[in-house]
Chain A
Amino acid sequence: MSIKIAVIQFPGANCDLDTIHVLKDVMHIDVDLIWHNYFKESKYDGVILPGGFSFGDYLRSGIIAAHSPAIDEAKIMVKDGRPVIGICNGCQILAEAQFLPGAFLHNESLKFICKWINLKVENNNTAFSNKMNTGDVLALPIAHAEGRYFNDNVEELEENNQIVFRYSTEKGELTKDSNPNGSLANIAGICNLEQNCIGLMPHPERASEAIITPKRTTHGLLFFESIIEFIKRRIS
């Protein structure tokens, strides 16, 4: 069985090659980098929308890319249960495309925030978290200006287990101080009802090798390993 993943390149993407590097060089997965206008879903078991500033973040982060033909293709994958993952700008794109509920607003501080945070796993059944345990606290960096999650109805998200990750302290406490951007209910990552489409603001591709992480952790790898595990379970 050979698994093939696509990473979509939008104009203004800048985490596409980091994502490719982790999948290809660290995990030895078959992966293609594809320009957004040329992406066809039929060849792929999963797709990742990487971080960056697609279309310059004009109008709102992710909204122009949400109208790309690549999103029509990704929609087919969401519907038939294949993993569709958005990281940072990719996460904003999935929200603007309405694959995910809610929206991402400017950080409460109005600043671009680039720092390491702690992330608590809330739901380990998804295509992006099944290699973790609920309650695990992972170290990942964030790098965004528009990461403040907003939704009218957070109770519904909780009832449906759609909150996958939250910002927390190192011990897993959900405090105001551990919430870097003012996100509603410390939300850092969400999923669709079927749990195969996940958006995450922090950057696992920047936390997958000990040589580039401050505490020699490789927590980012768990996210990509979860995608592969999800595909294996789905195919078998």
Chain B
Amino acid sequence: MALQEFIVEVIITNKEKARDPVGETIKRDLLAKKGYDMVSNVRSGQYLRFNLNTESEERAKNIVEDLLNKLRIYNPVTQNFRILKLQKES
């Protein structure tokens, strides 16, 4: 099967019980002061984008999940990760 290029975008955030001072500061010192008091919570995170050549979309997803877990790209003690987007490179 021919290899194709895929892009996998990942977002890593702190778990809810770990305080996120970046998000708290954006909400408290910027949004609340500028009239955006309808915003009840802001959480910050880390964005990673992987380009990889694999046989299929599913395989691309599995590889990225595998490397995130095995190499502790995210720290399971304090963080969660979520795959934001998975697409074939055009």
Interface residue ranges, A against B (CB under 8 Å): 59-60, 63, 66-67, 96, 102-103, 105-110, 150-152, 182
CB distance from B85 to the nearest CB of A (A): 20
Binding site for A on B (CB under 8 A): 14, 17-19, 21-22, 25, 46, 71-73, 75, 77-78
Q: Which of B21, B46, B77 contacts A150 (CB 8 A)?
A: B77
Q: Is the interface of A mostly helix, strand, loop or mixed?
A: loop
Docked-complex contact A60 and B22, CB < 8 angstroms: no
The answer for the CA separation of A110 and B28 in the assembled complex, in Å, is: 14
Counting chain A CB atoms within 10 Å of each CB, the highest count among B46, B72, B77 belongs to: B77
Check if B77 sits within 8 Å of A103, measured CB to CB. yes
Give the chain A neighbours of B72 by CB distance below 8 A.
Answer: 63, 66, 96
In the complex the two chains form, what is the Cα distance from A102 to B75 in whole Å? 10
For this complex, 29 residue pairs linking A to B, each with C-beta atoms less than 8 Å apart, are: A59-B46, A59-B73, A63-B72, A63-B75, A66-B72, A96-B72, A96-B75, A102-B77, A103-B75, A103-B77, A103-B78, A105-B14, A105-B18, A105-B78, A106-B21, A106-B22, A107-B21, A108-B19, A108-B21, A109-B21, A110-B21, A110-B22, A110-B25, A150-B18, A150-B78, A152-B17, A152-B77, A182-B19, A182-B21
